[in-house]
Structure formats: structure tokens, C-alpha cells
Amino acid sequence: MAAAAAVSISTASKALNDTGRMGSETRERVKRIAAEIGYRPNALARGLLSKRSFTIGLLTNDTYGRFTLPVMAGISDALVDHGVSVFLCAIEDDPALAQIHVDAMLDKQVDGIIATGKRLDRRLPVDLSNLHVPVVYAFTEGTQNSVSFRSDDEQGARLAVEWLVKIGRRRIAHITGPEDFFSVRERAGAYHEVAGHREPVLYGVWSESWGHEAVEQLWKRPGEKPDALFCGNDQIARGAVDALREHGVKVPQDVSVIGFDNWEIVAAQTRPPLTTVDMELKELGRQAGLTVLALAEGRPVEPGVRKLPCRLIVRQSCGGKAPTE
Amino acid sequence: MAAAAAVSISTASKALNDTGRMGSETRERVKRIAAEIGYRPNALARGLLSKRSFTIGLLTNDTYGRFTLPVMAGISDALVDHGVSVFLCAIEDDPALAQIHVDAMLDKQVDGIIATGKRLDRRLPVDLSNLHVPVVYAFTEGTQNSVSFRSDDEQGARLAVEWLVKIGRRRIAHITGPEDFFSVRERAGAYHEVAGHREPVLYGVWSESWGHEAVEQLWKRPGEKPDALFCGNDQIARGAVDALREHGVKVPQDVSVIGFDNWEIVAAQTRPPLTTVDMELKELGRQAGLTVLALAEGRPVEPGVRKLPCRLIVRQSCGGKAPTE
DNA sequence: GTGACCTGAGAAAAGCTTTTACCAATCTCT
DNA sequence: AGAGATTGGTAAAAGCTTTTCTCAGGTCAC
């Protein structure tokens, strides 16, 4: 630093880091002068020596940011206290682009990498398994012996269906996304388990229009109609609510509708606002961040898949009362 | 590098950088061995010397990511070719957090900072005016003598209203957000200019429910109804479309509705999909990225506000034909 | 054959910080 | 008072690149 503080370069360092031996008045003086001139140590130089850059990389292929943003917020939230900054790298399922970003991050000596995606059962289009920095997977499929975090979709779905049962619904239908999604199968499994097989599962796509169409199909069928819809995501739920309204069916009086994801922009703007399942992605990001930090510091972390519980967000599309917490 | 390539450390450097004098067969051999052992120079050490970290910081207070994500995508897209990585720092209108992030970035010797927000007429809660690194503002209010990029909302609004006029609409109403937003006033100004003053401007909030309510108000009034609605954003437009449907008014046959923002998740999922104005945020990010890079490299950049043109996205909520491009 | 020149490569410094080793001066105890 | 311990501080090395300087050996010309 400005050894212009009339002291040697090493004394300055020790003063600012509260290490070494020196007179307390010297230490104080150095600190004061450092503060005055606004001295801040160069993290590059420090990193060169300490082998820690206090930097991690976040790799994502989720362009919408639906999943990445909350995860990122959690990571950043957890790591900012430790002085760690985050490189965000959006690779759009482009292996070449991904490799460029990974190389750039490695050159910059990131302390670790968090890989995140938009789907639990897909890998990012780049191999991170043999890097010399720790890698943690969040909301995307990890590799053998890696640490990965994911939401517990089964528990989330159970939460939703149990809620519907609890408020007295019995004929619960499930409208959801494409069956090749792992989450879809998990959620459907929990649905079957809790609700029994009274109603079929309608697989489709993740859009409002599918939710709309699914309701058309259900209401076109003869016989008793469902008194509740458990939807695979909020967009489907929203389409369903719209369709119900057009049929003159009242939500939540006649039919309860529950979504999944708690995507505020969809869930809160639906009329009525959607009761839905929140995957706690921010918390997921927080844990992923702390984990990659632990690995970077050489602390041991058990490999494996960690499932984080979902939380039920009660709004008005189901009726019933919010649980007293 | 592994001078284990049987050559001195300086020769290795010169070989890999194609500088200095040396026998071509030595150069080739070093390069080959470097490639074999997967050597990559340490960017920290290089940065220490060259005063360039090939790293920039992106500061944002937009938690939804509605504006930040496209901007970020543009920046990243523009800079990845130059080997620059981006620190994403989400500060949630928290001055203390913002300062922490800025300090962390400066410590890490970022080559520049891009500030971005969710509102053109608001500053970030941190002062970036006297940093020793270049700062560029994108979609947020800049400081004196700074470089800032913003969308041309006036031109965008003009585009929208002119389109409505072109397809034969005459009684065009404007439902928009809070009047204290600069963009709202600019858009309303352009609306008045192009449409004349036949219909009032309805100021409200940026939500679907306001769009819904505004239509109620309009249709409750005696006299001729509007034949077109220019909405301040896509959410308002969506609410309006829903309300019109409930009134039995057909979109686009009876009334054309046009939005603003081109927020895919809203605009494309509305029935019918919204014709809307795109602010070209990705391009805005791209230019901001290239500009901060230019400043970092010492190239001169004229200070001032750069307005980028918006683009009309024609879907089905207005009728009319897509312009032949 | 010898001085001028060129070539290929290595030595060293710089960039900034932290850490270890070290030295001179003061203190302590008998 | 003098040996040994303590104190307050400095010098130097290490971490990894790049750049500039230097040098040994060879080539060319006269």
C-alpha cells in the first residue's frame, strides 16, 4: 500500500491484517492512514498468493431466469458475507459457449463452480466432472459422486394434494406437463399416492393454453366433474382458472385450483391469486453456495443428492384457511 | 508454466504469446507441450501485471430480472468474445449491500462497471461517479458526464399508436402505469401527439388488475367505446384483454389491444397473443458492454444519453398484417 | 582471422500482497 | 552488569506472468 504511511510494506500488511507483532500505536496509525487514503488491497495479488480468488462461477442454461434468478439470489446472499463474488454465465445449451465460459472462469481461478439449469433431469452441455475446482449442482442433474441440490417435488406434490384433501376435496384431477420430465412423474406419483386413482392424470405441456384445454377436456366428459385441480405449474393453473371462469365454474367455491412453482408474476396475478407450491429456490441457492464454499476451503462434504422441502403458499384459489404457523 | 517443457520460463511465455525471438521449432514444441498438459495461464497473475482483469461488474436492483436478464444476456454476448467475464450483483435497493458489492468488485480490479435498473428515472442507491474505473449506465439514470443507454420510449409509443392508426383504429385509449414514471409520461406524450386527444389517458399501476379495472371504467362510461387500447405494459394489456372478453368484446375484431415490453411470458401467453413493443434490451446490453470495454481500453467515448429504438412485435391482438420486412 | 552483427535463449524485474525469517534495541532477572 | 528474553519493526521470498535486458555462440564480411 502507500507505504507512504512512513512504514515498511510488511508492517503495513501486518497492521491491516492484525497479524504479527508491533506497537499498538503503530498499528492504529497505519490503519487510520489506510482508511484516510481509502486503501484497499488488491484481491488479484492476494489471490495469487493464497490460491483463493473469492470468486465462484454460476453456470446456467435457463435463459428465462425463472429458476436461475432465485437460485442466484440465494447464492449471492449466502456468499456476499464471505467476500465472494459470482460470475454469471448464461450458456444457452451451446456446448461450445459453455466451454468458453468454463475456461474463462478457470483462467480466472474461480474457487468453485455451481451448475444450475431449468430441469432436474438434464445435464448441462459441458463436462464438469474432472475439474480441479469443486463443482456443485443445483436444480440440475449432477455427476457420480458429486454434490447436488434439488427440490423435493414428491413432498411438494404431497403437500398440495394433502391440502386439497384437508379442505374437503375428493375428486382431485391432476393436469401437468410432459411425462418425460422427471419432476412430472414424481409429482404424479405423489398425487396418486395421496389422492388415490379416482381421476386420471392429464399430461401436456407447460403452458396456459394446455391448462385451458385440459379443463375443456375434463368438462366435456360426461359424469361428475372434479372438485379440485392440482396443476403441474402455475401457468397451467392459470389457464385452468381462466377456462373454469368461462365455464361459469367458480374458483374456489366450486373448484379448488392449486399450482406449482410460485412464480409470482403468474401466481399472484391470477384471479383469484393461486395457492401454490414454492420450491424454495433461494434457500436451495443459499445451500449450494455454502457448500461450494466449504469444498473450496477443503472442508469435507458428503457427496449425494440433497432434497430440499417445498413449502405451500396459501392464497385464494383453493378456499380453506391459511395454516396457523 | 511447467517449465518442465525443458525450457526457461520466459521462453515459454514468449512462445505462447508469439512474441520475442526464438527458433520456430522451439516455439512449436513449447506450444505443443502446453496443449498436451492443458496449460492455461493464470489470469490473476496476468491481470496483476497488465492492469486488466478482463472482468466487469453488473450492478442491478431489478430482482425480478425482467429487465436485467436481457441486458445481461446482451452484455455477456458482446464481451465473451473479448474474454471478459461478468460479476452479477443484485442489490435490492439496499445502499449498504450495494456498497459491499461495489467494494468487492473494485478489490477484484474489475475493468468497469455497468449499472442497470428497472426504471429509467431512478438512480441506483450507490454513488458510482468518482470511481477509478469506467461506469456505464443501462436502463437506469446516469450521472453528469456519464454514458448511459436507454430505450426510446417515445419512439416506441409512437410505433404502437401509428400501427393502430394504420390498421384503421380511430378511438384509441391509453391505459398505463403511474404518472410519476418518466417512461409513462413519455409514452403518453407520444400517444397524445399521434392519436390526438380524443380519449383520456388512464393512469394506474403496472398490474393486470389495473388493466382489468380500467376497461371496466371505460365500458361503464356512456357513449362510444374505444376501438383500440394502447397499454403501458403487457400486464395491463393482458388484464384489459381479459376484461374485454368478459364484456363479450372480441379482440382483435372489435377492439385492438397493444402492449409494451414484449415480456414473452405475458405477451405470448395472452389469448390472443399480444402485439407489443420490444425495448430491445439485449441490444442495449450489447452496446453497454462494448462501451464499457472501450472505456476500459482507454478509447474515447462521448458522454451522453443514447436512446435505442424500440421494435414493434406483431402478434394477433391488433389484427392487421405483420409488416413485410 | 577478427571485428560487427545476428540469433536463440535465459536472467531479472515488475506487478501487489502475505508470510517467514531476521535483526537491533530494549527489558528482565540474578 | 551481563546473559537471555522480549519487542518492534524490516528484508526477503513466494505466487505467476510478461517484458526488457543481457549474453553466449555463431555468421558474415573484409
pLDDT, tens digit, for every residue of B207-220?
A: 999 999 999 999 99
pLDDT at residue number B1: 61
Residues A91 and A7 grouped into a single domain: no
pLDDT at residue number B63: 84
Residues B14 and B57 grouped into a single domain: no
With beta carbons less than 8 A apart as the criterion, state whether A312 and A159 touch: yes
pLDDT, tens digit, for every residue of B275-305?
A: 999 999 999 999 999 999 999 999 999 999 9
pLDDT at residue number B199: 76
Q: Is the pLDDT of residue A250 over 50?
A: yes
Give a yes or no: residue B318 inside a domain.
no
pLDDT at residue number A21: 83
**Total structural domains in chain B?**
3
| Chain A residue whose CA is closest to B77 | A90
Under 8 Å CB pairs connecting chains A and B tally to: 124
Q: How far is the CA of B178 from the C1' of D5 (A)?
A: 76
What is the pLDDT averaged over residues A283-296? Answer: 97
Residues of B in contact with A40 (CB under 8 A): 103, 106-107
How far, in Å, CA of A32 to CA of B81, rounded? Answer: 43
> Which CATH number fits the domain that encloses residue B141?
3.40.50.2300
Q: What nucleotide is nearest B39 when CA is compared to C1'? A: D16
Residue A126 belongs to domain spanning: 51-150+280-309
Give a yes or no: residue A234 inside a domain.
yes
Give a yes or no: residue A317 inside a domain.
no
- Residue B316's pLDDT band, with cuts at 50, 70 and 90, is very high
pLDDT, tens digit, for every residue of B132-148?
A: 999 999 999 999 999 99
- Output the CA–CA distances (angstroms, integers) from residue B11 to A92, B5, B35, in the order listed: 39, 10, 16
pLDDT at residue number A206: 96
pLDDT at residue number A294: 97
Residues of B in contact with A97 (CB under 8 A): 80
Instruction: Please report how the helices B68-79 and B281-296 are oriented relative to each other, as an axis angle in degrees rounded to 10.
Output: 50
Residues B33 and B71 grouped into a single domain: no
Instruction: Kindly state the cell numbers that stand for B214.
Output: 380500467
Residues B131 and B207 grouped into a single domain: no
Residues B200 and B234 grouped into a single domain: yes
Q: Is the pLDDT of residue B324 over 50?
A: no
| Length of chain A counted residue by residue | 325
Bases of strand C lying below 7 A from some protein CB: 7-21
The one-character DSSP state at B275 is B
Q: How far is the CA of A131 from the C1' of D25 (A)?
A: 45
Residues A200 and A231 grouped into a single domain: yes
Q: How far is the CA of A37 from the C1' of C8 (A)?
A: 47
| Chain A residue whose CA is closest to B99 | A80
Q: Is the pLDDT of residue B2 over 70?
A: no
Give a yes or no: residue A318 inside a domain.
no
- Residue B65's pLDDT band, with cuts at 50, 70 and 90, is confident
Closest CB to A40 among B69, B106, B209: B106
Residues of B in contact with A72 (CB under 8 A): 88, 90
Give a yes or no: residue B320 inside a domain.
no
Tell me whether residues A48 and B44 touch, CB distance under 8 A: yes
pLDDT, tens digit, for every residue of B242-262?
A: 999 989 999 999 999 999 999
Query: Strand A311-313 relative to strand A304-308: parallel, antiparallel, unpaired?
Result: unpaired
Strand C: residues with CB below 7 A: A 1, 9-10, 12-14, 16-17, 19-20, 39-42, 45-46, 48-50; B 7-11, 20-23, 26-27, 45, 48-49
pLDDT at residue number B5: 64
The one-character DSSP state at A200 is -
Residues B77 and B33 grouped into a single domain: no
- Output the CA–CA distances (angstroms, integers) from residue B139 to A69, B18, B66, B144, in the order listed: 19, 41, 12, 16
pLDDT, tens digit, for every residue of A33-85?
A: 999 999 999 999 999 999 999 999 999 999 888 899 999 999 999 999 999 99
Residues A168 and A270 grouped into a single domain: yes
Give a yes or no: residue B241 inside a domain.
yes
pLDDT at residue number B21: 83
What is the pLDDT averaged over residues B197-204? Answer: 85
pLDDT at residue number B26: 87
Of A9-13, A111-115, A163-167, B51-55, give the lowest mean pLDDT range: A9-13
Q: Which single residue has its CA nearest the C1' atom of nucleotide C14?
A: B49
With beta carbons less than 8 A apart as the criterion, state whether A256 and A164 touch: yes
- Output the CA–CA distances (angstroms, integers) from residue A184 to A64, A127, A189, in the order listed: 20, 26, 8
Asked if residue B16 keeps its beta carbon closer than 7 A to nucleic acid strand D, the reply is yes
Residues B285 and B257 grouped into a single domain: no
Residues A291 and A143 grouped into a single domain: yes
Give a yes or no: residue A314 inside a domain.
no
Closest to A107 measured CA to CA, from A42, A53, A61: A53
Q: How far is the CA of A14 from the C1' of C21 (A)?
A: 15
With beta carbons less than 8 A apart as the criterion, state whether B147 and B168 touch: no
Q: Is the pLDDT of residue B325 over 50?
A: no
Of A176-180, A290-294, B26-30, give the lowest mean pLDDT range: B26-30
pLDDT at residue number B20: 80
Q: Is the pLDDT of residue B50 over 60?
A: yes
Residues A275 and A222 grouped into a single domain: yes
Give a yes or no: residue B319 inside a domain.
no
pLDDT at residue number A3: 63
Residues B254 and B166 grouped into a single domain: yes
Query: Strand B304-308 relative to strand B256-258: parallel, antiparallel, unpaired?
Result: unpaired
What is the pLDDT averaged over residues A228-248? Answer: 95
pLDDT at residue number A1: 61
Tell me whether residues A72 and B88 touch, CB distance under 8 A: yes
Asked if residue A4 keeps its beta carbon closer than 7 A to nucleic acid strand D, the reply is no
- Residue A324's pLDDT band, with cuts at 50, 70 and 90, is very low
- Output the CA–CA distances (angstroms, integers) from residue A202 to A196, A218, B31, in the order listed: 15, 9, 58
State how far Cα A217 lies from the chain centre.
33
Q: How far is the CA of B28 from the C1' of C10 (A)?
A: 18
Q: Residue B165: is it exposed, middle or buried by C-beta count within 10 angstroms (0-12/13-18/19+)? A: middle
C-alpha triplet B46, B48, B51: angle, nearest 5°: 95
With beta carbons less than 8 A apart as the criterion, state whether A175 and A159 touch: no
